[in-house]
Structure 1
Amino acid sequence: MRKIFLMFLMLVVSGCSLYHGRPIATLQFSKVERFRDTDMYQVYFTSDVEILGLFKSYIGEGLVCSLSDDLDFSQAHHIKQSGFGLVEKVSAEPALYRANVIFSESENSSGGERYLQGDTLTPFLLKKDSIVCLFRVHSTTYTTYFSNLMHLPSKELLNAKAQY
């Protein structure tokens, strides 16, 4: 009986994610530029924590933004109108990063997504003074890492959209 209980306990514990214990980064928006004549936006920001390479093994990492009031950034939740971009380091001092963000909207009936291209992004930006973004890393062993929230001014995105 003792062996069965011990095996059951090991099985339960092995399925749990561990708390990551990493410092929570505070991101500070710097600027946004439109990438050439595309619907990709290069969002520049600083961080008080080195955010790349937090984990040896991870499933995905990037900057996630919400165009709505939905601020559930968990991995299992899908924000209907959102942006996502892979992050790269631009300079070491100060720690400046760039995320190449593409915005999209879920299509309820088909289960797919449509990219918010051209003027389809504008109505979402006009509704709010800023959109909320954060850096997220989903690891295989640890709980999902979230930075603090960063506010990206909508007018900055609208100005970048007007470039080209």
Structure 2
Amino acid sequence: MRMLSLLVLILMASACSLNHGRPVANLEYTKTERLRNTGIYQVYFSSDVELLGLFKSSIGQGLICSLTDDLDFSQSHQIKQSGFGFVERLSANSLLYRADVIFDESVDGKGEERRLKGETLAPFLTARDAISCVFRVHSTTYKTYFSNVMHIPSADLLKSGPAQ
């Protein structure tokens, strides 16, 4: 009986994250601009769901992009060549957003990263027509929220000009 009680307790503790029940956002890409001479790409997009007010408490949210075919956007998985940007609303009463995305590559699986820009970023962009991105929110109470995948044309990032 003690073993059964312990098993039930473990199962209850492992199910602490609740299903968030929030609508899954559809993101629509608008344009990309490079921020001055930096390696920051400003990605503009719209959403059919209010993104920044999904949860009262969040421990991290932003746009995450994959430069490869690796589309595992979960927090526990590290995409080797990826981009991340914090998202902000462009005006108070709109569903228009901008993310300042920086691209990195993990090095040797040791937690070390190197910035991808200019000549180091271009090969990943020329290898595909588009890169895939999602809006992701980690909450203290709920399971991780993911939007549907948004595709950003690689040509738009290349057209923005390489950062030196």
Give TM-score scaled by structure 2 length: 0.91
- For residue 149 of structure 1, what is the aligned residue in structure 2? 149
- For residue 58 of structure 2, what is the aligned residue in structure 1? 58
- Pairwise CA distance, 1:55: 1.1
Number of equivalenced pairs:
162
- Pairwise CA distance, 1:94: 4.2
Deviations for 1:52-95, whole angstroms, at most 9, x for unmatched residues? 02111222100000000000001100000000000000024541
Deviations for 1:93-130, whole angstroms, at most 9, x for unmatched residues? 54110000000001016430000022110000000000
Please state whether the residue corresponding to 1:91 is helix, strand or coil: coil
Once residues 161 and 153 of structure 2 are traced to their aligned partners in structure 1, the CA distance between those partners, rounded to angstroms, is 13
| AA at the equivalent of 1:12 | L
Q: How does 1:86-125 map to 2 (within 5 A)?
A: 86-92=86-92, 94-108=94-108, 110-125=110-125
Once residues 32 and 134 of structure 2 are traced to their aligned partners in structure 1, the CA distance between those partners, rounded to angstroms, is 15
Once residues 73 and 114 of structure 1 are traced to their aligned partners in structure 2, the CA distance between those partners, rounded to angstroms, is 19
- For residue 73 of structure 1, what is the aligned residue in structure 2? 73
- For residue 158 of structure 2, what is the aligned residue in structure 1? 158
| AA at the equivalent of 2:128 | K
Deviations for 1:133-153, whole angstroms, at most 9, x for unmatched residues? 000001111111000000000
Runs of 4+ with >4 A deviation? none
Deviations for 1:32-55, whole angstroms, at most 9, x for unmatched residues? 000111000000000000000211
Once residues 109 and 28 of structure 2 are traced to their aligned partners in structure 1, the CA distance between those partners, rounded to angstroms, is 37
Please state whether the residue corresponding to 2:160 is helix, strand or coil: helix
Pair 1:105–1:137, CA change in 2 (3 A): same
Moved more, 43-52 or 103-112: 103-112
Once residues 137 and 65 of structure 1 are traced to their aligned partners in structure 2, the CA distance between those partners, rounded to angstroms, is 14
Residues 119 and 162 in structure 2, CA contact (< 8 A), matched pair in contact too: no
Structure 1 residue runs of 5 or longer lacking an equivalent are: none
| AA at the equivalent of 2:19 | Y
Moved more, 140-149 or 10-19: 10-19
- For residue 15 of structure 1, what is the aligned residue in structure 2? 14
- For residue 47 of structure 1, what is the aligned residue in structure 2? 47
Residues 25 and 47 in structure 2, CA contact (< 8 A), matched pair in contact too: yes
Structure 2 residue runs of 5 or longer lacking an equivalent are: none
Please state whether the residue corresponding to 1:125 is helix, strand or coil: helix
Pair 1:123–1:135, CA change in 2 (3 A): same
* Residue 135 (str. 1) matches residue 135 (str. 2): yes
% identical aligned pairs: 60
Once residues 36 and 65 of structure 1 are traced to their aligned partners in structure 2, the CA distance between those partners, rounded to angstroms, is 21
